[in-house]
Amino acid sequence: MSAQSQQNNNFALSVLTTLFFMMGFITCMNDILIPHLKEIFKLSYTQAMLVQFCFFTAYAVMSIPMGKLVEKVGYKNGVMGGFLIAAVGCLLFYPAAGSHSYPIFLGALFILASGIVLLQVAGNPYVTLLAKPGKESATLTLIQAFNSLATMIAPPLGAMLIFVDATASEAERISSVQIPYLGLAGFLILLAVVVKMIHLPDARKIAEEETEHNHDGKTSVWQYKHMVLGAAAIFCYVGAEVAIGSLMINVLEVAAGLNHTTGAFYLSVYWGGAMVGRFIGSAMMNKIAPNKYLAFNAVATITLTIVAILAGGGFITMWSLLLIGFFNSIMFPTIFSLATKGLGKFTGAASGIICTAIVGGAIVPVVQGFFADHIGLLVSFFVPTLCYLYILFFATKGYKADEQTA
């Protein structure tokens, strides 16, 4: 890769940091919506988790079609389309709030999530294809640190904008989401216009060149076992991270006696730990093999969830769960880059498949919500523990499945 080409790629990568920031901000706002809507509509934990179910079900329904769309229109147009679809979803929050209907809220969330899906499908492989060879995990981790910066900012800002006084009427509480999401819509439209106006490299050409160099004889993306196992790891990672974040405010209320506003502040610690961990991880993976770093972090998360359960509440439970955010940090970008390594022209299709697995964020929280309703809130954290055990398997064995069978 020439110096001029790499310089152009570095500019494109810097632009893509905004994409990851917005994906993190919008996704993490769900953690504020859940306790807010749970209280307004008098929902059970399982019903409240339908916020995450509708949001992340979009990944199951839309990821593969979005992957095919990106292959046709290119990564840049995919990014623009993602911003615009997400903007439409944000705009629909206004009539949803006016209707005072929980199901209509869920429908608007699905459309919003569809835009985020397109951003994920286009953005992640775009980064790995533009990164220097051998630095894919470190580059994606660094850029996704800005995703984590957004998730740290979103809880306190969202709480300030959405949470209202306890004496407010139900209508006032529901309408409190309208203005914040209108603002998000305007900003997303502005980003789509900015991306349209700037020049970004054509990553499809890079992918085709990589395929010519591989000569592995594979004719389908499904023939790559490490990609399939990586998709399952993404399912487990997103499911565990979202489930923990979604129940964090409720855990802090039950186990530590904190109110929702204070809990939202501590939730920012959880997501802030992911930001710090990604900045550190992007540097560490220049010295440590990405799979080994992933395995270490998986062991740490397994240990912390078990400690949180056994502690039974209080200070130890609270900080054990909050610290998981730090060790979650590098999981998504590392799993994604390991799962798409060497796929060449199949990278776009693989991204669609892997992003489909983000549906773990819809399924795992609802499963944990079910167990929280029936066996207890803290004990239900055995669900993310199982997810992290699978990630440990992928980090030690699954990522090299194709090497073992070659």
Q: Choose among 141, 191, 155: nearest CA to 33.
A: 155
Residue 370: phi, psi to the nearest 5? -60, -50
Q: Quick one: tokens of 267?
A: 């939730």
What letter represents residue 110's amino acid?
F
pLDDT at 4: 46
pLDDT at 368: 92
pLDDT at 2: 45
pLDDT at 126: 81
Measured between alpha carbons, how far is residue 201 from residues 9, 14, 60, 198 in Å?
A: 7, 13, 29, 10
Distance CA(254)–CA(60), nearest Å, equals: 33
pLDDT at 164: 57
What letter represents residue 34's amino acid?
I
Chain position carrying tokens 């980064």: 127
Distance CA(289)–CA(266), nearest Å, equals: 32
**What does pLDDT average to in each consecutive run of 10 residues of the chain (406 residues)?**
54 81 82 75 79 82 88 86 93 83 86 90 82 79 82 77 62 73 88 84 60 61 89 95 87 78 79 85 88 95 95 88 92 90 79 87 89 91 95 91 60
Could you tell me if 347 and 125 are in contact, meaning their C-beta atoms sit under 8 angstroms apart? yes
Distance CA(14)–CA(76), nearest Å, equals: 14
pLDDT at 326: 93
pLDDT at 167: 59
User: Which residues touch 25 (CB under 8 Å, ≥6 apart)?
Assistant: 150, 151, 153, 154, 184
| Helix locations, 29-101, DSSP H | 30-41, 45-48, 50-73, 75-91, 93-99
Say how far residue 307 (Cα) sits from the centre of its chain: 25
Distance CA(109)–CA(114), nearest Å, equals: 9
Distance CA(202)–CA(81), nearest Å, equals: 16
Burial class, 373, CB count within 10 angstroms (exposed 0-12 / middle 13-18 / buried 19+) = middle
Say how far residue 310 (Cα) sits from the centre of its chain: 28
